[in-house]
Amino acid sequence: MSIFICYMFFLLFSPLLIAGLDDCTTTWCSKGGPIIGFPFRNKFLQPEHCGYPGFNLYSNESNETVLELPFSVKLVSNIIDYVSQKIQLYDPDGCLPQKLLHLNLSASPFHFFENPLYDYVLFNCSATNRAMDYIIHCPAVAGYQVYAIPSYSYSYSYSDDYPLTSCTKIHEISSVPWYTFDQNDLHLKWSEPYCSHCEVQGKICSLDNNKSGTQCTSKPKIHRSGTIGAFLLVGTLVALYYVYSSSRIKKENQATIEKFLEDYRALKPTRFSYAEI
């Protein structure tokens, strides 16, 4: 009987077990947020094999979909387009230029899809009215203004073109699109792994068995939960048979006792209780 009780417990918790095993299914951080599917994974909820290296997302405490880019640049994603392999990101702190100072995409699987890309030199200037474009509005420091001057137009020989007195060169940013200092959005693209053809056909892209490339399968891999289903079915049948046969044995015992009592009564018409037998 104890085997039966154990089995009932197993049956009770098996939905949790199945949910735990079927861990690479698409997920999301919030209802309106982007779907997290291959090559991305939720790095705190899904094992490594669910995603491709470098495609780690997580839900932050306010259920935002966060992508961490090298080096420690945390941006929130609002759109992921799996067919065109693009991801749209924004800075939750509202100051993308500051994040760009630490961004190094060459150490990540992503790249800008706009062309051309430009190099900029950043200057920190005390606030006097200057006839210069390329103002960076954040982070704002009272009495100071930061300018991003394109490297192609700025060089020391042409520095007279820019009123850079009482300015200090603070940084260089290479290979970014022109819009990065005006917007809080960043549009990135990935080429590897290439899964567009799979997405277009409505199929499932995943790591292949070698975990080196990708495979395109027509159905989600359900064989694991399928195995568990068969296991549950067999288990249930075994348990039912166990209950059935044990109750039959009980009935047979009862019948024997009753027969014995009847035989005994026939011999001696005195009443017996079960306890006396």
Ligand X SMILES: *[C@@H]1O[C@H](CO)[C@@H](O)[C@H](O)[C@H]1NC(C)=O
Positions touching ligand X (CB under 6 A) are 60-64, 66, 74, 76, 92-93, 104, 106-107, 124, 141, 144, 146, 170, 208, 210, 213
Residue 190, classed as helix, strand or coil, is strand
Element (H, E) at 112: strand 110-112
**Smallest distance from ligand X to CB 237, Å:** 38
* 196 residue type, one letter: S
Q: How many helices (H) and strands (E) does the chain have?
A: 4, 15
Nearer to ligand X, 216 or 228 (CB): 216
Q: How far is the CB of 238 from ligand X (least distance, A)?
A: 39
Of 218 and 233, nearer to ligand X (C-beta) is: 218
Closest distance of CB 152 from ligand X, Å: 18
Alpha-carbon dihedral 31, 34, 38, 40, rounded to 10 degrees: -110
Q: Which two tokens stand for residue 139?
A: 């982070």
DSSP 157: G
Nearer to ligand X, 60 or 153 (CB): 60
153-167: b (≥16 Cβ within 10 Å) or e: ebeeeeeeebebeeb
Give least dist CB 74 to ligand X, A.
4
Closest distance of CB 224 from ligand X, Å: 20
Rounded CA-CA distance 145/135 in Å is 7
Tokens of 179: 């819009």
